Amino acid sequence: MLKKFDKKDEESGGGSNPFQHLEKSAVLQEARVFNETPINPRKCAHILTKILYLINQGEHLGVMEATESFFAMTKLFQSNDCIYIVYTFYSLTKDMTGKDDNYRGPAVRALCKITDVLLADVLLRPFQPASHALSSLQTTMLQSIERYMKQAIVDKVPSVSSSALVSSLHLLKTSFDIVKRWVNEAQEAASSDNIMVQYHALGLLYHIRKNDRLAVNKMLNKFTRHGLKSPFAYCMMIRVASKLLEEEAGGFAELLDIGLVWFVLQLFCSSPKAALRYAAVRTLNKVAMKHPSAVTACNLDLENLVTDSNRSIATLAITTLLKTGSESSIDR
Amino acid sequence: MEALILEPSLYTVKAILILDNDGDRLFAKYYDDTYPTVKEQKAFEKNIFSKTHRTDSEIALLEGLTVVYKSSIDLYFYVIGSSYENELMLMAVLNCLFDSLSQMLRKNVEKRGLLENMEGLFLAVDEIVDGGVILESDPQQVLHRVAVRVNEIFCMPP
């Protein structure tokens, strides 16, 4: 492995990569400086970056290696405590509720990652007597997490609120019943002025309620009446609405007559931006699967895209035309 | 019959990749199980690179996925989502990542500069996407949140 890197280094000349010669065992060895006092923040941060780089390259850390490095890292919280997980937990809750706003969002996210593991653990073996002490500890931690999360969701700082909402969404998978108790807080966040907070709050609300059609309908009604600030949230709500329409009316063919939709699609077709042309032709392609006749209005635009320099766009245009085209378009 | 619409979800991004001009991985984060092993991931990266590195277009449909990308000097940036995903949302992520990095590096976005600022890159990606959900799309916000942390780590007296 190392040899291969060496060779490449010679070939590429000056383009040196400071991480190129990293070896896992050496980096983990270096990580022992985490135990030294006083801590050298610069050096430690650099070693952390190296570990992240290795993991990112697909390097696998064994259970022992990972555990050892984790415990070494927790020392960076300057702890003398012996129960590291609990300590890490409390350091994070301290960061999460601390004065420094810039630490709070990331602390919420890290805390929820740990919580997720804990919860999965509780759910997997709730009745094992051997883990009794641990589970009572977990229950206590969960209760305080719940309190912190509810506060964080309605926090005035957008990065904190967004982090808490998205983390709640991740937690839904392992602990739906706990997260659904946070609906009121999410509801409050949904009327936030911040576009990302609004998007995340609506998303979380939908994920919690998606099996309750009545609740989804109510949510849609409310936001179509009051409007939304966030384009991402609009995108999400349009999807929710079209899903409801498809389920209820068995399709949304009647919507295809709306002239504005075609106008926008035609506009996109001639956009200098490839992403917009792609979006338009992909939409037309999807519609043509079900309603080829509705797409014929855009045939001319599609024909122009057949020679597009972007191959994906050209291919999509051709397959769409095959569904909608007539003999008269062959010559062109 | 294929579904016409995507199940509404906040999970938008399947992967973020940064490759160098040999197609080797500088950064990769996969947010779901589409490519579960490192081997499959690297094969995907190779395929993506071979199909995109000579074109200057910004979007492609590859392996049934929507790939939006952009290159800079000796780097290739990719954001990957489902083929049903809104392309403009994926573009928003790509632009946010690229703009955050170009302001963070304060010069051209290239391999050497990026390697010298890996911690900034890791932090920035964590601010932009969390587990596949777009967390922030405004580069100024990302920069602000990352810069404060990097400064505090690296400018503390030893």
Minimum Cα–Cα distance from A278: chain B residue = B59
| Of B4, B7, B58, Cβ closest to residue A274 | B58
The residue among B15, B143, B4 whose CA lies nearest residue B67 is: B15
pLDDT (tens digit per residue) in A80-113:
433 455 566 667 777 777 777 778 888 888 888 8
Task: State residue A158's pLDDT score.
Answer: 94
Q: What is A212-265 written as a DSSP string?
A: -HHHHHHHHHHHHHH--S-HHHHHHHHHHHHHHHHHHHS--GGGGG-HHHHHHH
Average pLDDT of span A270-295: 84
Dihedral Cα B47, B52, B58, B59, nearest 10 deg: -40
Q: Measured in whole angstroms, how far is the alpha carbon of residue A256 from the centre of its chain?
A: 32
For residue range A177-225, list pLDDT tens digits in order.
Answer: 889 999 999 999 999 999 999 999 999 999 999 988 899 988 888 887 8
Report the pLDDT value the prediction gives residue A13, as an integer from 0 to 100.
41
Minimal Cα–Cα distance from A19 to chain B, Å?
A: 8
Cβ atoms of residues A109 and B128 within 8 Å = no
**Does A320 have pLDDT greater than 50?**
yes
What local confidence, expressed as pLDDT, does residue B56 receive? 73
pLDDT band for A134, please (50, 70, 90 cuts).
low
The string of pLDDT tens digits covering residues B24-42 is: 999 999 999 999 999 999 9
A180-184, A260-264, A297-301, B32-36, range with the lowest pLDDT: A260-264
Q: Which of residues 124-153 of B touch A (CB under 8 A)?
A: 126, 130-131, 133-137, 141, 144-145, 148-149, 153
Rounded to 10 deg, the angle between the B87-105 and B139-154 helix axes is: 40
More confident residue, B95 or A136: B95
Provide the H-helix boundaries in chain A.
2-12, 24-30, 41-56, 63-74, 84-97, 101-124, 132-153, 158-179, 183-190, 195-209, 213-226, 231-249, 259-269, 274-290, 292-295, 299-305, 311-324, 328-331
Q: Which residues of A239-272 are buried (b: 16+ CB within 10 A; e: fewer)?
A: bbbbbbeeeeeeebeeebeeeeebeebeebbeee
* Tens-digit pLDDT profile for residues A18-30: 777 788 888 888 8
Average pLDDT score, chain A: 78
Q: Which residues contact A14 (CB under 8 A, 6 or more apart)?
A: none
Q: What are phi and psi of A59, to 5 degrees?
A: -65, 135
- The H-assigned helical ranges of B31-155 are 38-52, 87-105, 111-116, 118-128, 139-154
| Higher per-residue pLDDT: B14 or A15 | B14
CB contact under 8 A, B131 and A236: no
How far off is chain B from A326, nearest CA to CA, in Å? 24
Better-predicted residue by pLDDT, B35 or A38: B35
Contacts with A, B 68-97, CB within 8 Å: 68, 74, 83, 86-89, 91
The answer to whether residues A187 and A153 touch, using CB atoms and an 8 Å cutoff, is: no
Q: Which residues of B touch A16 (CB under 8 A)?
A: 112
Residue A46 confidence (pLDDT): 83
Contacts of B23 in chain A (CB under 8 A): none
Nearest neighbour of B59 by CB, restricted to A58, A242, A310: A310
A14 has a pLDDT exceeding 50: no
**pLDDT, tens only, A154-165:** 999 999 999 999
* Residue B132 identity (one-letter amino acid): G
Alpha-carbon gap, residue B48 to A196, rounded angstroms: 30
Query: Is A90 within 8 Å of A140 (Cβ atoms)?
Result: no
B132 - beta bridge partners?
none
B121-143 pLDDT, tens digit each = 999 999 999 999 999 999 999 99
> Which chain B residues have a beta carbon less than 8 Å from that of A58?
25, 28, 38, 41-42
Q: What is the pLDDT of residue A192?
A: 92
Instruction: Say which DSSP state B26 is in.
Output: E
| pLDDT band of A5, cuts 50, 70, 90 | very low
Alpha carbon distance A231, B89 (integer Å): 10
Question: Is it the case that residue B10 has pLDDT exceeding 60?
Answer: yes
Structure tokens at A122: 């509780």
What's the rounded mean pLDDT across residues B102-118?
A: 88
Judged by phi (left if over 0) then psi (alpha if -120 to 50, else beta), residue A246 lies in alpha
Query: Cβ neighbours of residue A290 under 8 Å, at least 6 residues apart?
Result: A251, A253, B4
Backbone angles phi, psi at B129, to 5 degrees: -130, 135
How many angstroms away from the CA of B101 is the closest CA of chain A? Answer: 17
- The whole-angstrom separation of Cα B14 and Cα A212 is 27
* Of the listed ranges A20-29, A232-241, A255-264, A303-312, the one predicted with least confidence: A255-264
Q: How far is B25 from chain A (nearest CA, A)?
A: 7
For A294, list phi and psi in degrees, rounded to 5: -65, -25
Give pTM, 2 decimals: 0.83
Top residue of B25, B56, B61, B70 to mutate, by most chain A CBs within 10 Å, is: B61
Nearest to B133 among A15, A42, A166 (CB): A166
Residue B33 in contact with partner chain A when CB distance is under 8 A: no
Assess contact for A178 and A122: CB atoms under 8 A.
no
B47 and A CB contact within 8 Å: no
A-B contacts (CB, under 8 Å)? 150
Contacts of A197 in chain B (CB under 8 A): none
Radius of gyration of chain B (CA): 16
- ipTM score assigned to the predicted complex: 0.90
Provide the shortest C-alpha distance from residue A84 to chain B (in Å).
22
pLDDT at B96: 97
What per-residue confidence (pLDDT) applies to B141?
Answer: 93
B125 to chain A, minimum CA–CA distance in Å?
12
Could you say which of B8, B28, B74 has the minimum Cβ distance to residue A206? B8
pLDDT band at A331 (very low <50, low <70, confident <90, very high): low
Q: Hey, are the CB atoms on A49 and B119 less than 8 Å from each other?
A: yes
The pLDDT value recorded for residue A130 is: 47
d(CA A302, CA A245): 28
Separation between Cα atoms, residue A166 and residue A153, nearest integer Å: 10
- Asked if B25 has any chain A CB less than 8 Å from its own CB, the reply is yes
Nearest CB among A53, A170, A275 relative to B59 is that of A275
Q: Which residues of B touch A17 (CB under 8 A)?
A: 111, 115
Q: How confident is the model at residue A167 (pLDDT cuts 50, 70, 90)?
A: very high
B4–A290 CB contact, under 8 Å: yes
Q: Tell me the percentage of chain A whose pLDDT exceeds 90.
A: 17
Q: Distance from A175 to chain B by nearest Cα, in Å?
A: 17
Identify which of A22-26, A288-292, B11-15 has the greatest average pLDDT.
B11-15
| CB distance B144 to B56 below 8 Å | no
Considering Cα of A174, then A179, then A181, then A187, what sign does the dihedral take?
Answer: negative
Which own/partner pairs from B95-102 qualify as long-range (CB within 8 Å, at least 24 positions apart)?
B95/B139, B96/B128, B96/B136, B96/B137, B96/B138, B96/B139, B96/B142, B97/B16, B97/B124, B97/B125, B97/B128, B98/B70, B98/B72, B99/B139, B100/B124, B100/B128, B100/B139, B100/B142, B100/B143, B100/B146, B102/B72
Task: Determine the residue among A33, A42, A269 to mutate to test chain B binding: the one whose Cβ has the most chain B Cβ atoms within 10 Å.
Answer: A42
